[in-house]
Amino acid sequence: MLSGKRWLPAAAYTIMIAVLVGLAAAGCGPKGENQQAAKEIVVYAAASTTEVIEEVGKVFTAQTGVKVGFEFGSSGFLARKIESGAPTDVFISADERWIKYADEKNLLDHDHLILFARSSLVCIVPAGSQNTPASPQELAGLERISVGDPAHVPAGKYANEALSYYNLWDSLLGQGKIVLTMDVRAAMSYVEQGVVQAGIVYSTDASLSDKVKVAFTFSDESHSPITYHAGIVSRTANKAEAIEFINFLGSEKFHQLIVSRGFKTP
């Protein structure tokens, strides 16, 4: 069967498959050795907390020597990843909904849940915009408004509540004016790029970019309270370090930090 030069393709395929299997085997399996060398905790946090939590991470590492790895994204998506077994130690949600979801699924340690900050919801427009709505009702005059996907982005859920409060959600959605994004920072990015005329994000996000300006703030009564919660993932291998991290989020030093960034203390 394998006569003449016919063995060449067969050999090539065999070598290729062997290499692929070898790579896959090398990729699988526990990290083992690395974890003994330097302790590291992983924090899954809401996208809107990117800057403050990275700051906390730096301080935490300086004080304890424990390194901190981050993943930032929509709180709902992070909860889902934790549910699927993602290797993480701390979960920070911009919504009580996702902390509760994780807690009910026994993914979090009941004893170490903390509400550590509050915020407010604003409508932003591109910095150079000539068409700035002064109130929610004036949003109807725009073409496209970016909002996080309410199904998993807390900012999107708050935006949905606020627009529904003013009886605007259904009509804006029906007219095709709503653009759903995968997290709140994507909603802001669209406004920065000018592909939408307005977006709904947190006041703390808006203050980070000079390419957007705040058009108006949604009144607190138009949406449920924007609360930031943190919890320890129950299957963490770094419980003590995670507890230290969470405790820092309740400290006076942290309160000063978040206030300086525009958040409100709990």
Nearer to another protein, 149 or 241 (CB): 149
User: Applying CB under 8 A, does 74 fall inside the site for another protein?
Assistant: yes
For residues 102 and 105, what is the distance between their CA atoms, to the nearest angstrom? 5
Q: Where are the alpha helices (DSSP H) in the chain?
A: 7-27, 33-37, 50-64, 75-83, 96-104, 154-165, 169-174, 184-193, 203-206, 239-249, 252-260
Question: By CB under 8 A, which span of 7-15, 73-81, 206-214, 232-240 interacts with another protein?
Answer: 73-81
Q: Please state the closest distance from residue 251 (CB atom) to another protein, in A.
A: 30
Q: Please state the closest distance from residue 11 (CB atom) to another protein, in A.
A: 23
Contact code string over 152-181 relative to another protein, x by CB under 8 A:
x--------------------x--x-xxxx
Question: By CB under 8 A, which span of 36-44, 193-201, 211-219, 243-251 interacts with another protein?
Answer: 193-201
Nearer to another protein, 90 or 249 (CB): 90
For residues 214 and 133, what is the distance between their CA atoms, to the nearest angstrom? 10
Residue 152's contacts (CB-CB under 8 Å, 6 or more residues apart) are 74, 75, 76, 77, 80
* Contact of 244 with 60, CB cutoff 8 Å: yes
> Looking at residue 99, what DSSP letter applies?
H
User: Applying CB under 8 A, does 211 fall inside the site for another protein?
Assistant: no
Figure out which of the listed residues 52, 56, 66, 79 binds another protein, where binding follows CB under 8 A: 79
Nearer to another protein, 83 or 220 (CB): 83
User: Applying CB under 8 A, does 208 fall inside the site for another protein?
Assistant: no
Q: How many residues bind another protein (CB under 8 A)?
A: 24
Residue carrying structure tokens 């083992």: 32
For residue 111, give both structure tokens. 């004893």
